[in-house]
């Protein structure tokens, strides 16, 4: 006796909270899977009806009413193909993260997610109760076990499904990206499949959601932990696998084997997708960027042009008396290479007006960083005025190194609605710029090779105020991302003076970061959803034991 089913894998870019539109997209994918791929079953991602993560939308009763209504519409709107989808559901006063099988116009099986992640960007225990039981059912002669995302990272749920007779484990996901996450995730799943001697079909969400990027990269591995079907990352996609059971032997035939991107390419694509979806899903007409002639704004403008198209990106060079001719020339050359609209607006007159008006209350004070900040705030005001008038959102340009130590001006260069490189350390900014130039040379070489400077005073360079980025970035990674004690960082060979200074700057600038624009997350611990420290705090780490 033999059985054969063709299963579709759907990486759908849904919008959190747009339940009706999300159901429309699911129906469209189901029809395509049925008509183009001849599938009997289509598997979608975790919480695909609502998008993931819906956060405190889950607290609204009306939200659940609409989920129920649209789930019924989905059941009635699809024929000739069955679906596995995810959604939230309140049962007896408790809310669950559900994976469900829809067949013949109704929900026939519902699985309650057992393992609820509550770390890093996840806080599912705030909303959901944990399920306890496996969900295993016969589907056209093959026993399927249904699990949801975190379930596969822990001992228990998958084993429970296999013990219940599952011959194929289906795992639906809302697994966000960070550098190296795709290979890490695939290794975990393949080890699990080999351990239980059962193939796993893994479907992941795609798209940007505020700070998070979901990379897709759905795949299938066999009972030996070998990947037999690998979909692309960072793009919407539909593909299919054929599952055949002959006697007691199960085999899976995949149709795709998309190679994994190299690390820099993967990070760059995540940044592009994050910017594209934030701008488009929030309905902006495009973006405007202050283009300084430096590396950060150059990379930001390039990401924006790749994400949105040059016609949807405007840049403004805002020179002052300290702006070098090199910076002016490089900004123009990059704008020309990208094909974006280029404006020049001097901040000299507005700066002079501010200083003149402030002169009476500044009498008796020496010039200091205040005047530098006025320059930055003139630029911020200019960008926001342009944004208000044109409907183009300001993309701010501060990198993770600067955000860490507060090397930025509130209401100045921190002004903006979104930050493409907020989670990108400075050294990585340079690497990404070099990588992007291998595709087409849009960032002038001089921007990459010259000493970085804010150009807020004569002959200023970043290293006047900060350790060299080759020293700063590793210290920041150890302290911010790995929570390593200062003494341990010094033991690793970093100068105690630098470590002490960097940690002091990180801790005292929490108030700035709390007011910073959201930005794309590409590391394991980004500022924002990942790292939550009090602004008002008397705790100071010690450099010694």
Q: Tell me which of 39, 135, 149, 221 is the catalytic residue.
A: 149
pLDDT of residue 545: 45
Distances (CA, A) of 143 to 137, 281, 386: 5, 39, 59
Q: Beta 200-204 vs 142-148: how paired, if at all?
A: unpaired
How big is the chain by its Cα radius of gyration, in Å? 26
Q: Does the annotation count 46 as an active-site position?
A: yes
Q: Tell me which of 6, 39, 46, 75 is the catalytic residue.
A: 46
* Cβ atoms within 10 Å, residue 82: 22
Distances (CA, A) of 528 to 52, 119, 211, 378, 513: 17, 13, 8, 27, 8
Q: Does the annotation count 184 as an active-site position?
A: no
In angstroms, the CA 461 to CA 459 distance is: 7
Domains of the chain: 2-260 (3.60.110.10), 283-466 (3.40.50.620)
pLDDT of residue 197: 95
Do 423 and 521 touch, CB atoms closer than 8 A? yes
Pure H helices in 116-222: 157-163, 181-196
Residue 256's region, left for phi above 0, alpha for psi from -120 to 50, else beta, is beta
Contacts of 400 (CB under 8 A, 6+ apart): 421, 422, 423, 424, 425, 426, 476, 523, 526, 527
Do 143 and 170 touch, CB atoms closer than 8 A? no
Do 48 and 86 touch, CB atoms closer than 8 A? yes
pLDDT of residue 537: 86
In angstroms, the CA 63 to CA 38 distance is: 34
Q: Which of 391, 392, 347 is nearest to 371 (CA)?
A: 347
CA-based torsion, 48, 53, 56, 57: positive or negative: negative
Exposure string (b/e) for 517-541, b if CB count within 10 Å is 16 or more? bbbbbbbbbbbbbbeeeeeeeeeeb
User: How confident is the chain (545 residues) per 10-residue block, as mean pLDDT?
Assistant: 90 97 97 95 98 95 96 96 98 97 96 94 94 95 96 96 96 96 94 96 97 96 95 96 88 88 96 98 96 95 98 96 90 96 96 95 92 94 97 96 92 94 96 96 92 70 80 93 91 91 92 94 90 86 68
Do 246 and 22 touch, CB atoms closer than 8 A? no
Q: Which of 326, 279, 275 is nearest to 302 (CA)?
A: 275
In angstroms, the CA 517 to CA 65 distance is: 33
Distances (CA, A) of 511 to 257, 421, 527, 537: 46, 19, 12, 11
In angstroms, the CA 396 to CA 424 distance is: 13
Q: Tell me which of 6, 89, 112, 113 is the catalytic residue.
A: 113
pLDDT of residue 455: 65
């Amino acid at each position: 006796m033999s059985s054969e089913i063709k299963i579709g894998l759907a990486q759908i870019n849904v919008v959190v909270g747009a339940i009706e539109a999300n159901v429309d997209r699911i129906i469209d994918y189901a029809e395509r899977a049925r008509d183009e791929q001849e599938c009997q079953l289509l598997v979608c991602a975790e919480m695909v009806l609502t998008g993931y993560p819906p956060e405190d939308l889950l607290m609204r009763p009306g939200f659940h009413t609409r989920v129920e209504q649209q789930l019924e519409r989905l059941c009635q709107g699809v024929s000739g193909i069955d679906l596995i989808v995810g959604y939230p559901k309140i049962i007896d006063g408790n809310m669950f993260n559900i994976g469900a099988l829809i067949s013949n116009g109704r929900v026939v099986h519902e699985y309650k997610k057992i393992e609820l992640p509550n770390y890093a960007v996840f806080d599912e225990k705030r909303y959901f109760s944990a399920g306890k039981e496996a969900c295993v059912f016969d589907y056209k002669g093959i026993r399927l076990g249904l699990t949801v995302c975190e379930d596969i990272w822990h001992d228990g749920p998958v084993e429970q499904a296999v013990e219940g007779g599952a011959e194929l484990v289906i795992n639906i996901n809302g697994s966000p990206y960070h550098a190296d996450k795709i290979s890490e995730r695939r290794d975990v799943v393949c080890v699990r499949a080999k351990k239980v001697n059962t193939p796993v079909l893994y479907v992941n969400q795609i798209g940007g959601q505020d700070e998070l990027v979901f990379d897709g990269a759905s795949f299938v591995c066999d009972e030996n932990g070998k990947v037999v079907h690998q979909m692309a990352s960072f793009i919407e996609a539909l593909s299919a696998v054929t599952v055949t059971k002959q006697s007691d032997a199960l085999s899976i035939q995949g149709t795709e084997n998309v190679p994994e991107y190299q690390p820099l390419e993967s990070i760059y694509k995540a940044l592009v997708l994050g910017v594209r979806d934030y701008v488009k899903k929030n309905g902006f007409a495009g973006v405007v960027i202050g283009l300084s002639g430096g590396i950060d704004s150059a990379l930001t403008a390039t990401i924006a042009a790749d994400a949105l198209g040059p016609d949807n990106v405007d840049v403004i060079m805002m020179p002052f008396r300290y702006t070098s001719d090199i910076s002016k020339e490089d900004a123009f050359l990059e704008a020309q290479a990208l094909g974006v609209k280029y404006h020049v607006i001097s901040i000299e007159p507005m700066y002079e007006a501010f200083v003149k008006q402030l002169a009476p209350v500044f009498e008796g004070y020496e010039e200091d960083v205040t005047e530098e900040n006025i320059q930055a705030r003139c630029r911020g005001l200019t960008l926001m005025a342009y944004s208000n008038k044109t409907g183009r959102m300001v993309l701010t340009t501060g990198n993770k190194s600067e955000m860490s130590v507060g090397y930025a001006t509130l209401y100045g260069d921190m002004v903006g609605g979104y930050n493409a490189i907020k989670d990108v350390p400075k050294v990585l900014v340079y690497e990404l710029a070099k990588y992007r130039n291998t595709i087409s040379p849009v960032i002038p070489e001089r921007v990459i090779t010259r000493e970085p400077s804010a150009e807020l005073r004569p002959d200023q360079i970043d290293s006047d105020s900060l350790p060299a980025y080759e020293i700063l970035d590793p210290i920041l990674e150890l302290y911010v991302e790995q929570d390593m004690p200062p003494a341990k960082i010094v033991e690793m060979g970093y100068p105690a003076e630098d470590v002490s200074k960097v940690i002091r700057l990180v801790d005292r600038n929490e108030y700035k970061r709390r007011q910073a624009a959201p930005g794309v997350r590409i590391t394991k611990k980004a500022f924002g959803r990942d790292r939550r420290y009090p602004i008002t705090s008397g705790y100071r780490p010690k450099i010694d034991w």
